[in-house]
Amino acid sequence: MRAMWFCGGFHWIKVKGERAAASEVPILTVAPHSSYFDAIPVTMTMCSIVTNLENRSIPVWGTLISYIRPVFVFRADQDSRRKTVEEIKRRAQSGGKWPQIMIFSEGTCTNRSGLILFKAGAFIPGLPVQPVVLRYPNKLDTVTWTWQGPGAFKILWLTLCQPHNPMEIEYLPIYTPSNEEKENPALFANNVRKLMARALELPLTDLSFDDRDICLSQGPLRIYDYSSLLEFNQLVCRMGLKAGITDKVLEDQARIARKLQGDKLGLQDFAQFLKLPVTATLTQVHSLFDKLGDGQIDIRHYVIALSTIHRPSKSMETLKLAFKMYESEVREEILQEDLATILEIMLGVKNMELSGLFLDTGKITYDDFDRFIEQHPHYFDFKDHPHAKSCNGQNHSKDD
């Protein structure tokens, strides 16, 4: 592996600080994560990593990954996160019997312009961690690999065209959590993130890996203005609810919301609905849906928003859930104004022209709407929609 990196122009790697022993620090938290070249410190240390199960099937590379005894994540399994955290805790508490685990806490590649929110996996065990920061000092950036920009092979080609590719790895002092941080992994993660940002001289940004899926939603009902949903997603994460969201939880909440038939909930009732105490964060979430400013919300709006951030790429599943909450007892159809409200929450769009969707009754069924979407897949492409405005009241053009 070292020979391969050398042939790629990484002739020598500058290392600052000292790496702690596995018996002293079981977890190394690394940032920023911006490239597949970040595998260099992994191959230099032979640390275990947390990686997708699919990577095991990659020719050659998958075999090499298996040698370092990684923690595999199977994203199709809804219990994957819990199992991954349990495995990390088991290895971290082994007293050095397992190799150190090197975790890229951002959970995705970024462009190194700032540190996004860290995932809590490395910090849940409540044990000391050693922060590790990565730098690529090249004037010409050929290594950054994100979901937008050059693809994997172009990045490789551009990097191979460089005579030399410098890289720096810095091991920062061991960070021992306080009792408060042991009880609050999110606080622990954020404090380590601040420390690493100072070492990198980078700003912090309150975006997360999950925000990427919201920003890059696709399909006939893709999110148009996601600012409100990003804020909502961050608040839900802060309340500790994000990990517990499943399709079954959404179905159960939708069932309760349907029984309420649009009855409004105050702050105390909302807290009871979520089975949480009233906190500043919960109050913020409640106020997001308090459209009239009277301290009352329609819980159906909350469930729609929650479903949207949970599965932004499955907008039709969210729409089907919303129809169930709004349908009348007699017929499986909803009113035009109800559909407008649903789409406003899901897509961030107001003032839509929906008259072409409805019969003279001003009502529509889910099957009719689904059929309309199939026949007009670009109807809700709001960059070209003359009647659409984003939630901030601005029209978007193709050049935005």
Q: Helix axis angle, 227-238 relative to 280-288, nearest 10°?
A: 150
Nearest to 204 by CA among 95, 316, 118: 118
Nearest to 255 by CA among 310, 319, 321, 308: 321
Q: Helix axis angle, 299-310 relative to 247-260, nearest 10°?
A: 160
Nearest to 166 by CA among 138, 200, 199: 138
Name the amino acid, one letter, at 190.
Answer: N
Nearest to 239 by CA among 302, 195, 154: 302
Classify burial at 128, counting beta carbons within 10 Å of its beta carbon; exposed 0-12, middle 13-18, buried 19 or more. Answer: middle
Q: What is the pLDDT of residue 388?
A: 41
State how far the Cα of 90 lies from the Cα of 87, in Å rounded to an integer: 5
Q: CA separation (Å) from 348 to 132, 215, 222, 299, 379?
A: 39, 12, 10, 18, 15
Would you state the structure tokens that stand for residue 71, as one six-digit string? Answer: 């923690």
Q: What is the pLDDT of residue 178?
A: 94
Chain-centroid distance, C-alpha 350 = 25
Chain-centroid distance, C-alpha 344 = 22
Q: What is the pLDDT of residue 297?
A: 93
Q: What is the pLDDT of residue 120?
A: 85
Nearest to 274 by CA among 241, 237, 300: 241
Q: What is the pLDDT of residue 284?
A: 93
pTM, two decimals, is 0.70
Name the amino acid, one letter, at 332.
Answer: E
Q: Hey, which residues does 267 pair with through a beta bridge?
A: none
pLDDT in tens, the chain (400 residues): 888 899 889 999 999 999 999 889 999 999 999 998 998 999 899 898 888 877 788 888 788 888 888 888 876 666 777 788 888 888 888 887 888 999 999 988 888 999 998 988 889 889 999 999 999 998 889 999 887 788 889 999 999 999 999 999 999 999 999 999 999 888 999 999 999 999 999 999 878 777 777 877 777 788 887 788 888 988 888 887 877 788 899 999 999 999 888 889 999 999 999 999 999 999 999 999 998 889 999 999 999 999 998 888 888 999 999 999 998 777 788 888 888 889 889 888 776 667 666 666 778 888 888 888 888 777 777 654 443 433 333 333 333 3
What is the DSSP secondary structure assignment for residue 172, as one 8-state letter? P
Q: Domain coordinates of the chain in residue numbers?
A: 2-205, 212-390
Classify burial at 331, counting beta carbons within 10 Å of its beta carbon; exposed 0-12, middle 13-18, buried 19 or more. Answer: exposed
